[in-house]
Amino acid sequence: MAKNITSKQLNVEVTTIDAVLEFSIEGKATGKQLFDLVTRTLGLREVWYFGLMFTDAKGFKTWLRYDKKIIDQHIPKDSVVGFKFRPKFYPEDVSTLIMEVTIHLFYLHCKEDIIDERIYCSPEASLLLASFALQSEYGPYDESVHIPGFLNNQHLLPSNVITQFDLTPQQWEVQLIDLWTKHTNMLKSEAELEYLKIAQDLEMYGINYFEITNKKGSQLWLGVDAYGLNIYNHDNKVQPKISFPWGEIRNVEYHGKKFCIMPEDRNSPDFVFYVPKTKISDLIMQLCVGNHDLYLKRRKPATMEIQQMRAQAKEERSRKIMERDKLETEKAARMQLEREKKELEERLIALEKENQQAHQAKLAAETRAQIMEERMKIAEEQTHSLTRKKIETEAEMQRVRASAIKSEEERIVMKKKVIKAKEEAASLQQTAQQERQEAESLRKRLERAHINNSPPSPLTLQYKDTSPTVKTPTSLLSSELGDSNDTVVDVLPNGSSSVDVSNTEDLATELQKQHEDYWQQSQYLSEKLTALQNEVADFKQEEKEKESSPLPLVRGVRGKERKSKTEVSTTQRIHASIVRQSSHKHYTYDKSKSGSTKSRIEFFEDL
């Protein structure tokens, strides 16, 4: 008796693919009672596909029998007895699975077997299956949510596929997302069912393998699945040599390590093989009986329970489709509203920008208006100043003209005096010398007066010393006033003065130096740009070569295989041979069961 068992309670721990369930049941409970408790907890109704597996006290894995008490099945002596809830039998076609919970459980177990390489899967099929797994787990691909690198920690592909091709995680992610985007409108259950539809065509799907020998002692594999019994060479679990469908098997029995299959054709001998342990015979018997019962059940009319489950599943699927359509409609409406909102926000931003530009233009116009107003004021002041200066100039011209007239009168008077002096000189001989000197002086003064066109009268000298000089474009007296040696600055029409630039040579030298520096920098940048363009061209050429090299996609292209010292596994070589022969699982299976039962049994004996 196990230590954990009292007279009343038995503590068990049931591990499913995604949960751990703990129960405390009666010590005398049967396997059926525990199994029903688990299935009710999981909400599972298609219970005939599943079973509870455990490791007995001798370390042998076996299935829990429903018709016996748990304590009578050699359970280990632990405080908590562990069981694993997993598929025991597989359907011939996964499309016959009814409930979504059943599909989900098969999907999880199948995905685990493929990733852990218990089922061989080609790289192309692995990528496609992984894309359906992403659709099931994350829903439709959304680039705003599923950012690059989010698959780095996800275990989606078998290790042999990853090591077979020299691709980076980013390249694998690109390939997966490319396939994932094609499943946008799939429900979770639909994606999982599509996963199973692809997986059921894998050669090792749904098969329980056991090592056997024939009468000659040849090491072989026995495969038990939903279709029947398959015999494989010991180095080939992919292609069966011969097969015996359940429809050709009349009875199955074993005696110790000897297993006997009796065919429907009574003219054929019994199909006999041997197993290493008696426990294996018992395990094979359970699988044969269960698969044969399901084989017969599938060929009978559906029971009322199955019909109810199908109706319920159909109704549930219709409800989810309606919910999905409603969600898609709401999502489309929400996206439309978001687009309209975005457009309105963009229009608002554009209007605000236009308003800001208009405001800036208004401010600029007001500034220009203020500047123009100030310029107008300055122009008016300049106009008043010029008008005032014009009046002053005209008055000055009148004074100059009056002074000129007065000087002319004085000249005439002086001339008369000269004439009178000459007359007096002629009469006054004794003062001739003195008069001669005065005459000479007068002669010189007359010559200066002739040159200046005006006698140097005291009034003129006084005017030249006191009168202001007006230097404007309209001045007409600039040639009449002032000394020719005085410094005069000409006023240009725009009010500026002409300036002599004395450092022209220095400026030319500086400009030449800046030109040389600019030419050197331009040459350096040109060389850098040329080098960068060459690097970009080389990078594009490498990317083009990578794109031209095939990748392992379902579209038929293959990736560059990693160069490794390890050889390709036997299973991979066999699968490659099947692909080259354009064969598939069902073709191989049909070929393996061709011929009469008797001929196949004889062939088995000769292996």
With pLDDT > 90 as the criterion, what percentage of the chain qualifies? 25
Give the pLDDT score at 8: 72
DSSP type of residue 445:
H
Give the pLDDT score at 286: 92
In terms of Cα–Cα distance, which of 464, 424, 460, 461 is closest to 442? Answer: 424
Using CA atoms, how far residue 236 sits from 55, 224, 225, 574, in Å, is 28, 15, 17, 8
Pick the more confident residue, 557 or 435: 435
Query: At 13, is the pLDDT very low, low, confident or very high (cuts 50, 70, 90)?
Result: very high
Q: How many CB atoms lie within 10 A of CB 313?
A: 19
Contact 124, 552 (CB under 8 A): yes
The string of DSSP codes covering 302-358 is PPHHHHHHHHHHHHHHHHHHHHHHHHHHHHHHHHHHHHHHHHHHHHHHHHHHHHHHH
Cβ-count burial 315-329 (b if 16+ within 10 Å, e if not): eeeeebeeebeeeee
Give the pLDDT score at 140: 86
Contact 62, 41 (CB under 8 A): no
Give per-residue pLDDT as tens, 72-88: 888 888 888 899 999 99
The yes-or-no verdict on residue 93 having pLDDT over 70 is: yes
Pick the more confident residue, 393 or 553: 393
**What's the average model confidence in pLDDT over 235-253?**
89
CA dist 454 and 448 (Å) reads 8
SS3 of residue 231 by DSSP = strand
DSSP type of residue 70:
G
Q: How far apart are the first and last CA of the chain?
A: 46
Query: At 520, is the pLDDT very low, low, confident or very high (cuts 50, 70, 90)?
Result: low
E strand intervals along 101-227: 208-213, 219-224
Report CA torsion sign: 157, 160, 161, 162: positive
Query: At 146, is the pLDDT very low, low, confident or very high (cuts 50, 70, 90)?
Result: confident
Using CA atoms, how far residue 370 sits from 236, 361, 364, 494, in Å, is 97, 14, 10, 21
Helix residue ranges, H only, 200-303: 278-298
Lowest mean pLDDT among 128-132, 418-422, 529-533: 529-533
Helix residue ranges, H only, 428-485: 432-452, 458-466
Region of residue 358 (left: phi > 0; alpha: psi -120 to 50; beta: else) = alpha
Query: At 401, is the pLDDT very low, low, confident or very high (cuts 50, 70, 90)?
Result: confident
Pairing relationship of beta strands 50-55 and 81-87 according to DSSP bridges? antiparallel
The string of DSSP codes covering 168-199 is -HHHHHHHHHHHHGGGTT--HHHHHHHHHHHH
Give the pLDDT score at 583: 56
CA dist 119 and 584 (Å) reads 15
Contact 162, 111 (CB under 8 A): no
Give the pLDDT score at 586: 66
Give the pLDDT score at 421: 63
CA dist 272 and 261 (Å) reads 6
Query: At 458, is the pLDDT very low, low, confident or very high (cuts 50, 70, 90)?
Result: very low
Query: At 198, is the pLDDT very low, low, confident or very high (cuts 50, 70, 90)?
Result: very high
Give the pLDDT score at 549: 43
Query: What does pLDDT average to over the chain?
Result: 77
Pick the more confident residue, 602 or 12: 12
Give per-residue pLDDT as tens, 296-344: 998 888 888 888 988 988 888 888 888 888 888 888 888 899 989 999 9
Cβ-count burial 531-548 (b if 16+ within 10 Å, e if not): eeeeeeeeeeeeeeeeee
Half-sphere exposure of residue 103, counting CA atoms within 13 Å on the CB side?
A: 22
**What's the average model confidence in pLDDT over 18-29?**
88
Domains of the chain: 9-88 (3.10.20.90), 96-199 (1.20.80.10), 208-300+590-606 (2.30.29.30)
Query: At 534, is the pLDDT very low, low, confident or very high (cuts 50, 70, 90)?
Result: low
Residues 6+ apart with CB under 8 A from 139: 188
With pLDDT > 70 as the criterion, what percentage of the chain qualifies? 71
**What's the average model confidence in pLDDT over 457-463?**
39
Give per-residue pLDDT as tens, 106-116: 999 999 999 99
CA dist 172 and 152 (Å) reads 10
Give the pLDDT score at 512: 60
Own/partner contacts of 510-514, CB < 8 Å, gap of 24 or more, are: none
Give the pLDDT score at 521: 56
* Sheet containing 258-263, strands listed edge to edge, beginning at the edge strand earlier in sequence: 242-245, 228-233, 219-224, 208-213, 271-274, 258-263, 249-255
Give per-residue pLDDT as tens, 251-284: 999 998 999 989 888 888 888 999 998 889 999 9
Q: What are phi and psi of 60, to 5 degrees?
A: -100, 130
CA dist 461 and 447 (Å) reads 17
Query: At 454, is the pLDDT very low, low, confident or very high (cuts 50, 70, 90)?
Result: very low
Give the pLDDT score at 306: 86
What would the two tokens of residue 338 be?
């978001």
CA dist 30 and 418 (Å) reads 169
What would the two tokens of residue 516 be?
């040389």
